[in-house]
Amino acid sequence: MKNIRGEQVKFINCDLCGADNAVDYLIFEEYKYVRCSNCGLIYQNPQPNIKPLKRRYSKKYFDYELRNQHNFFELMRKSLQDIKFLEKITPQFPLEKRKFLDIGCATGLLLNYVRQYGWQVQGIEIDEYSADYARKNFNLNIINKTLEHSKIKNESFDVIHWSHVIEHLHSPTAGLEKIHKALKKNGYMLLTTPRVDSFQQRLFKQNWRSYHRDHLTIFSRKTLCRMIEKAGFQILRFFSWGGIAIDAGYPRWIKNIADRTVKLLNKGDVMFLLARK
């Protein structure tokens, strides 16, 4: 079976509970989201196979990553500040033996940053242009594969970070299980992903910025936390941000008020979780 782009697609069961009783949730020209009637997980069905998904990462995608790399880095750095990563988490692990993995590391700015604080770092990045950039500019060790096809030794990392990756996976559950195995005992997972039960989604409805053909699963706080706990993690922190997108056409002062309000009420359309094995 093929989609409108000529890509091979297949139907799947719910990745959270395994049920096959989903109902249509939102239909676009190229793809369709369904909602599991059992657990509420929202996901694309049918879904493209891995090979056509990987082909979407082109030079055009890299140019976008390069233009926005500093904005993306600042958002990730602020998340680390919010959990006091340097003050509280980093000292828990011996200097020069700390191991940090960034899945979806893009151009490598975050890896280059944490390396300055005694972390041994490694990245996984599906886009070959971004992986090459990180190697050449920061001398980083990057695996240029999908998470599914990357070989990671069990209990080999103290911290695993992934930002805006889990929503791209065919099986988020399998990704979480793989990360759980790769973490050492008491290791930490730092995860960022769009949040559907948010103010911004309610405001823009089907035009919400995170309904995207590359986002195979869209999580609510409830479905994400349930999946993380099912994989064996203990959730330590949860917060969110993102009231109105900067390019949505609203005056800056309205955006500023919305951003502050949703962060205070924890109803932002991007959510961050800190979890421990």
Asked if residue 11 is part of any domain, the answer here is no
pTM across the whole model: 0.94
Inside any domain, residue 129: yes
Domain tally, the chain: 1
Q: Is residue 88 a part of any domain in this protein? A: yes
The per-residue pLDDT for range 173-232, each reduced to its tens digit, is 999 999 999 999 999 999 999 999 999 999 999 999 999 999 999 999 999 999 999 999
Residue 258 belongs to a domain: yes
SS3 of residue 21 by DSSP:
coil
pLDDT, position 70: 93
**The pair of three-digit structure tokens given for residue 252, joined into one six-digit string:** 């800056």
Tokens of 179: 């990360």
Q: Residue 136 sits in a domain of what CATH number? A: 3.40.50.150
- How far apart CA 20 and CA 54 sit, in angstroms, is 27
Query: pLDDT by residue (tens digit) across 145-166?
Result: 999 999 999 999 999 999 999 9
Using one digit for the tens of pLDDT, what is the confidence trace for 91-110? 999 998 999 999 999 999 99
Say if residues 9 and 32 touch (Cβ distance below 8 Å): no
Q: Is 8 inside a domain boundary?
A: no
Tell me, what's the pLDDT at 275?
98
Question: Span 244-262, mean pLDDT?
Answer: 90
The label of the residue with tokens 């961050």 reads: 272
How many angstroms separate the Cα of 29 from the Cα of each of 5, 208, 212, 219?
Answer: 10, 16, 11, 21
Residue type, 242: G
For residue 7, the model assigns a pLDDT of 83
Between the alpha carbon of residue 267 and those of residues 80, 82, 263, the distances in Å are 19, 16, 6
Helix and strand counts by DSSP (H, E) for the chain? 8, 13
The answer to whether the beta carbons of residues 190 and 79 sit under 8 Å apart is yes
pLDDT in tens, 3-31: 887 888 999 999 999 999 999 999 999 99
Among candidate residues 218, 193, 228, the one with its CA nearest the CA of residue 45: 218
- Evaluate whether residue 17 is within a structural domain: no
Instruction: Give me 170's structure tokens.
Output: 């065919």
Burial of 79 (0-12, 13-18, 19+ CB in 10 A): buried
Burial of 153 (0-12, 13-18, 19+ CB in 10 A): exposed
Residue 1 lies in a domain: no
Mean pLDDT in the chain? 94
SS3 230: helix
Q: What is the pLDDT of residues 37-66, one digit of tens each?
A: 999 999 999 998 877 677 777 777 788 888
* Dist. CA 41–CA 263, nearest whole Å: 24
5 within domain boundaries: no
Burial of 149 (0-12, 13-18, 19+ CB in 10 A): exposed
Q: Output the CA angle 264-252-207, nearest 5 degrees.
A: 80
Model pLDDT, residue 52: 67
Q: What is the domain range of residue 198?
A: 56-276
Which pLDDT belongs to residue 66?
A: 85
Contact partners, residue 272, CB within 8 Å, separation at least 6: 79, 82, 190, 191, 192, 237, 238, 239, 240
